[in-house]
């Protein structure tokens, strides 16, 4: 999908309807802007419930702790 938008004089961009619908984004949703080279990655901030269990199965050995710092 290719969609374009124009930056307004108030530095606002409207997200094209096709993108909103495909991503299932809703009004009032919070987003984070991550600089990537000459562009920006725009991602919705996940709800706390969506993060539950995200690290399940992660290795707990070999990680750095505050005791490892100088």
> Would you list the domain boundaries of the chain?
15-45
* Residue 48: predicted pLDDT: 84
Phi, psi dihedral angles at 62 (to 5 degrees): 80, 15
Half-sphere exposure of 48 (CA within 13 A, CB side): 0
Quote the pTM value. Answer: 0.62
* Residue 49: predicted pLDDT: 85
- pLDDT tens for the chain, 70 residues long, are 688 999 999 999 999 999 999 999 999 999 999 999 999 999 999 888 888 888 888 877 777 777 766 6
Alpha carbon 8 to its chain centroid, in Å, reads: 22
């Amino acid at each position: 999908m290719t969609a374009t938008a124009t930056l307004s004089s108030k530095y606002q961009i409207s997200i094209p309807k096709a993108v909103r619908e495909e991503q299932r984004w809703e009004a009032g949703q919070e987003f984070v802007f991550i600089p990537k080279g000459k562009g920006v990655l725009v991602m919705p901030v996940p709800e706390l419930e969506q993060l539950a269990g995200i690290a399940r199965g992660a290795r707990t050995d070999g990680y750095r702790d505050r005791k490892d710092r100088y």
